Amino acid sequence: MSETQTPILLRPPQYIVNDKGERISVVLDIGTFRRIMEDLEDAYDNRLIDETEGEPGIPLDQALREENQRRGL
């Protein structure tokens, strides 16, 4: 992580425990949750990019037409 990046967890997470004291859930503030979700979406997008690298593309109008047909529009 570079010096300019802020760590995802700005404070330690809080845990919910069961009656045996076992951690069963994590409580995160909404900002931390949103950052984690954005990072997951970015990772997913990057994986799709890697998987389709080198595949031929299609024109946007063709892609939209095919998607509309798929949806029955």
Q: What is the pLDDT of residues 17-50, one digit of tens each?
A: 999 999 999 998 888 889 899 999 999 999 999 9
Average pLDDT over residues 51-58: 88
Neighbours of 64 (CB within 10 A): 11
pLDDT of residue 43: 96
Distance CA 48, CA 42 (A): 10
Beta strands 23-27 and 14-17 are antiparallel
Identify whether the C-beta of residue 13 lies closer than 8 Å to the C-beta of residue 36. no
What pTM, to 2 d.p., does this model score? 0.56
Distance CA 40, CA 57 (A): 25
